[in-house]
Structure 1
């Protein structure tokens, strides 16, 4: 009888140990995927700009640093109730995307504005798109 009890106890111990351990394959299946870190608005904007490949910048375009000055200013102007026409006018907002040695065609400037608003202040995207549609620029 002692042999049976000892054998049974050893079997129970072995099963308990096996149940508590898992193979490396089990660990992989149970491992939770790590969340993808959020992409910054700056990265989203610059990625979209690089993908857009604006024709008006084929010869000479702005640096990323020059471009990054615009979206926050556009969002601030929109939050203050200004229109796209106001922002892009020389006598108004003076926020048309142009530099000392680079320029942007109007259609490209409209697309750039939409990319900036989409990344930095998406709550104004539909408003801007509608203004551009109403003005024939989108």
Structure 2
């Protein structure tokens, strides 16, 4: 009996130090952490932002297949060392505009932030810093 109590105490101490919860002791594996695809995260965040550029559009944002083409390109440009200013002012294909829709500059800055957060969050701090310093965020 003493050996059983000692073994149980050792097990509890080990689990406590390891940070295990009582849920993992009963044999139930923790469930998977839900993830959202970058495309879905981006489009949902654009809808939630209620950007003035898209206020009169139906639906509330441009076609997802057109809009979601931009964030991967923005991430590539950032990886190549380009700034947000360069992407939106000097690049021919990185300004968020489509066949039947456009984006005001202030909203374009917000779109870049939303896209970077969803697709390449490692650049979000540098993007936000650049836009803050420019007075655009």
Same fold (TM over 0.5): yes
Name the Cα RMSD after superposition: 1.7
TM-score, normalising length from structure 1?
Answer: 0.71
The 5-angstrom pairing of residues 36-75 of structure 1 reads 36-60=33-57, 61-75=61-75
TM-score, normalising length from structure 2?
Answer: 0.71
What is aligned with 1:95? 94
Q: Which runs of 5+ in 2 are unaligned?
A: 1-25
2:108 matched to 1:132? no
Deviation at 1:51, TM superposition (A): 1.1
What is aligned with 2:116? 117
Give the Cα separation in 1 of the matches to 2:91 and 2:105.
Answer: 17
Deviation at 1:93, TM superposition (A): 4.8
Aligned residues: 109
Q: 1:81 to 1:93 in 2, by over 3 A?
A: farther
Deviates more, 1:39-48 or 1:92-101: 92-101
Deviation at 1:32, TM superposition (A): 4.2
Deviation at 1:112, TM superposition (A): 0.9
Give the Cα separation in 2 of the matches to 1:67 and 1:92.
Answer: 17
Q: Is the 8 A contact 1:114 1:128 kept in 2?
A: yes
Post-superposition, which runs of at least 4 consecutive aligned residues in structure 1 deviate over 2 A?
29-34, 91-94
Deviation at 1:43, TM superposition (A): 1.6
Give the Cα separation in 2 of the matches to 1:102 and 1:44.
Answer: 21
Give the Cα separation in 1 of the matches to 2:116 and 2:92.
Answer: 16
What is aligned with 1:82? 82
Q: Is the 8 A contact 1:86 1:93 kept in 2?
A: no
| SS, match of residue 96 in structure 1 | coil
